């Protein structure tokens, strides 16, 4: 039986050429073996229906097979309840420390402000207290594009205050991005230009 498995393994190798580009002489004999020995076991096996359910799993309507399946409704509810319970416990601890739990609530304005601050730090226009400015032009562009994407996807769903805040943040960040990139593309100015005219 072990020899038959090895034969079936070598039969699946149907390359016509060797690594050097020459025609393989073994390919014709292997094809003959494939028509004689493995054909009978494959046709007589009762496992023929099992590959059929696997085919839809390997090609799930254009989706990537690496993406895990979505959690069930019961799993989502269980996770949401556990998250809510944990959050309420954290709120109690915050209030015991003398702060208000409402200060920790996430609003759309706070979310946008967080993205705004991130982009300003990436542009080197702001830095953490005691830190040095760090320039990350690509990161800044992605953050600005994220805010632009939010602007498109949330049209008609924002209050006038939220929409105004979003548009102002986007406007200021785009202007800052243009100014920073223009400053980076300019060649450094040196006082050598005046000295060069004297040499002439």
- The predicted pLDDT at position 20 comes to 61
- The predicted pLDDT at position 64 comes to 61
Q: Is residue 64 part of a domain?
A: no
The CA-to-CA distance between both ends of the chain, in Å, stands at: 94
- The predicted pLDDT at position 43 comes to 47
Q: Is residue 22 part of a domain?
A: yes
Q: What is the pLDDT along the chain (200 residues), one digit of tens a residue?
A: 455 544 444 444 555 556 565 655 654 444 444 444 444 444 444 444 444 444 444 545 555 668 888 999 999 999 999 999 998 888 888 888 888 888 888 899 999 999 999 999 999 998 888 888 889 999 999 999 999 999 999 999 999 999 999 999 999 999 999 999 999 888 777 665 554 444 44
Question: Which residues does residue 123 pair with via DSSP β-bridges, in sequence order?
Answer: 135
Q: Is residue 148 part of a domain?
A: yes
Candidates 150, 133, 134; CA nearest to 142 is: 150
- The predicted pLDDT at position 16 comes to 58
- The predicted pLDDT at position 46 comes to 47
- The predicted pLDDT at position 101 comes to 81
- The predicted pLDDT at position 13 comes to 52
The residues, ordered by sequence, that sit 6+ positions from 166 with a Cβ below 8 Å of its Cβ are 112, 147, 150, 151, 154, 158
Domain that holds residue 139: 106-185
Contact between 144 and 179 (Cβ < 8 Å): no
Q: Is residue 198 part of a domain?
A: no
Contact between 45 and 18 (Cβ < 8 Å): no
Q: Is residue 144 part of a domain?
A: yes
- The predicted pLDDT at position 171 comes to 96
Domain count for the chain: 2
CB neighbours of residue 155 within 10 Å: 9
Contact between 24 and 18 (Cβ < 8 Å): yes
- The predicted pLDDT at position 193 comes to 52
Q: Is residue 73 part of a domain?
A: no
Candidates 6, 7, 26; CA nearest to 15 is: 26
- How far is residue 94 from each of residues 8, 99, 106, measured CA to CA in Å? 67, 6, 15
Q: Is residue 86 part of a domain?
A: no
C-alpha 116/C-alpha 170 separation (Å) is 8
Q: Is residue 4 part of a domain?
A: yes
């Amino acid at each position: 039986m072990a020899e038959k498995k090895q034969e079936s393994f070598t039969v699946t190798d149907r390359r016509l050429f060797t690594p050097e580009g020459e025609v393989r002489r073994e390919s014709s004999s292997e094809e003959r073996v494939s028509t004689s020995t493995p054909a009978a076991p494959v046709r007589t096996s009762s496992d023929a229906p099992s590959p059929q359910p696997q085919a839809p799993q390997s090609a799930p309507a254009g989706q990537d097979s690496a993406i895990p399946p979505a959690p069930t409704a019961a799993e989502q509810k269980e996770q949401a309840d556990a998250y809510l319970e944990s959050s309420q416990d954290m709120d109690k601890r915050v209030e015991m420390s003398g702060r208000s739990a409402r200060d920790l609530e996430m609003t759309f304005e706070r979310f946008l402000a967080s993205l705004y601050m991130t982009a300003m730090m990436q542009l080197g226009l702001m830095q953490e207290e005691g830190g040095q400015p760090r320039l990350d032009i690509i990161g800044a562009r992605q953050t600005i594009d994220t805010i632009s994407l939010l602007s498109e996807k949330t049209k008609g769903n924002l209050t006038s205050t939220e929409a105004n805040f979003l548009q102002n943040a986007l406007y200021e960040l785009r202007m800052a991005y243009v100014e920073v990139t223009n400053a980076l593309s300019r060649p450094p100015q040196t006082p050598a230009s005046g000295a060069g005219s004297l040499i002439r």
